[in-house]
Amino acid sequence: MTSSDLDRFVDNEEIPQTGLAAPSRTVSELLDEAPRSRFHRRAVVISGMGFFTDAYDLFVIGTVAAILKAQWTLSTSQTSWVTGGAILGAFVGAFVFGRLADVLGRKTVYTTVAAIMIAGALLSAFAPNFLTLVFARFFLGLGIGGDYPVSAVLMSEYANRADRGRLVGLVFSMQALGLIVGPLVGLSLLSAGVSDSLTWRVMLGLGAVPAAAVIYLRAKMPESPRFRASVKGEHERAAKELHHFAGGAIAHAEASATTREHLSLRAFVTNPRMLSLVVGTAGAWFLFDYAYYGNTISLPSILLEVSPNASLIGKLWLTLAIFVVFALPGYALAVWRIDRIGHRKLQLIGFGVMAACFGLLGVIPALTSSVVPFVAIFGFSYLFTEFGPNTTTFVLPSEVFPAEMRATGHGIAAGIGKFGAFVGVFLVPQLQIHIGLRGMLVVAAFSAIAGLLVTLILPEPSQRSLEEVSGENHPNFTAPKKVVAPSP
């Protein structure tokens, strides 16, 4: 029998030979102990570029809607449909493609959603009227929603135990670039004298570019080795594909395989523990996205109330400043510290700071009547939004569910989260009209407090294997059966 270091990432260094055969371990166990490698970095870039597209497409619409409201004389409700169309599509897409990723495989969905995003961005750019644009944005959202579970789960399943939060967080942190590039594109076009009617079309059409750039690379990625081994039982094929893709940096040898009775969809939705995990992940994501998307996409109108005389370009500069000064460092801190602090603990901290910031802005009138104090406190909430639940609500669902339901569970959480975003996009402008900016911020503070309480349901996944967190390795989870994969 050869050495069992099937998936050891050695960064082109030879594994010391002791003359003794190492104890047989599963593919998952070997991946858990693998150090970070070039393969991980490549996976982060390929997944992350798709997520950059998600962020750009979702958040650029705030500026586009501000232009179209005047150009097409849209009502507040119609403007909300323009901004919310893609989010509603993401709600549906996360459910559908999350489930398909557990049935057909992560890789198949990985490329399909990128193709949908290309088509949706182009359809949006050439939309001739309000209804066509809403439909095109909904179609785009299907791909965006599908990208959430498959990107998170695939990276989580490629990752090792010690760095899983950091690696999945790196994928999500590409949202920071999407947040920054959107306002930069708008500023560049408007400052160059490009007409408003052309500016919004270019802004939407550019969303197709990064998706097109990664679709080929995604097609060349291997299927998740954990999915092949744990769900499909293809232990040897998983090893060979990963060894080949990593360019020999992973030693290919024999490994043991653990199989067990898998949860069906019906068993999943009736299992009390699985339901509690769904409530914890989906509930926190819903409450977070309500406040985050409602505030972020409505930021131009929020800034208009704080600074009534600011032009569209001026508001874009303020938006960009908030993202660069506060949000970007928050993403970096999350990636750097998430595995040290703890994934669940970081979410609790972030929700707590968000609640405090929104509460202060809501109860102290002077803070919303001047640009500098408002931007400082609102920006600080953004720091802990990214260094907190905006990252962790993406990471946690990729860790707590069993392999055969991991993308399904993440898809449910992401879908319900995006429904919260859809509610926020419609409700925040209405609240701002009826109870004012301060009242709207108080509602956001209560949403953050509720998110903190819901997070307490979840386990702490940091530094633990996926199988331990999900309970797959517990003897009472299902009836396990031990088999050994044949030698190559």
Distances (CA, A) of 181 to 206, 207, 323: 11, 11, 10
Looking at 185-189, 215-219, 424-428, 482-486, which range is the least confident one? 482-486
pLDDT, tens only, 306-351: 777 767 677 778 777 888 888 889 999 999 999 999 999 999 999 9
User: Could you give the C-alpha distances from 111 to 50, 133, 244, in angstroms and in order?
Assistant: 10, 24, 20
Domain ranges of the chain: 27-484
- Can you tell me which residue has the tokens 């044949």? 486
State which CATH number among 3.40.50.300, 1.20.1440.230, 1.20.1250.20, 3.40.605.10 fits the domain covering 27-484. Answer: 1.20.1250.20
Winning range, highest mean pLDDT, from 67-81, 116-130, 184-198? 116-130
CA distance 60 to 430: 21
Query: b/e for 227-257, b at 16 or more Cβ within 10 A?
Result: bbbbbeebbbbbbbbbbebbeebbbbbbbbb
- Give the Cα separation of 257 and 33 in Å (integer): 16
CB half-sphere exposure, 13, CA atoms < 13 A: 10
User: What's the predicted TM-score (pTM) here?
Assistant: 0.85
* The pairing of beta strand 480-484 with beta strand 256-260: antiparallel
- Contact predicate 241/261, CB 8 Å: no
- How would residue 294 be classed by pLDDT, with cut points 50, 70 and 90? confident
Residues 6+ apart with CB under 8 A from 261: 478, 479, 480
* Residue whose structure tokens are 């998706």: 211
Q: What is the pLDDT of residues 373-420, one digit of tens each?
A: 888 998 899 899 999 999 999 999 999 999 999 999 999 999 999 999
Would you call 152 helix, strand, or coil by DSSP?
A: helix
The DSSP-derived string for 57-89 is HHHTHHHHHHHHHHHTT--HHHHHHHHHHHHHH
**What is the DSSP annotation of 330-372?**
HHHHHHHHHHHH-HHHHHHHHHHHHHHHHHHHHH-GGGGSSHH
Q: Rounded CA gap, 463 and 339, in Å?
A: 7
| Residue 112 in tokens | 């399909």
Work out the mean pLDDT of the chain and round it to a whole number.
Answer: 84
In the structure encoding, which two tokens stand for residue 283, read together? Answer: 């509930």
Residue 482 confidence class, pLDDT cut points 50, 70, 90: very low
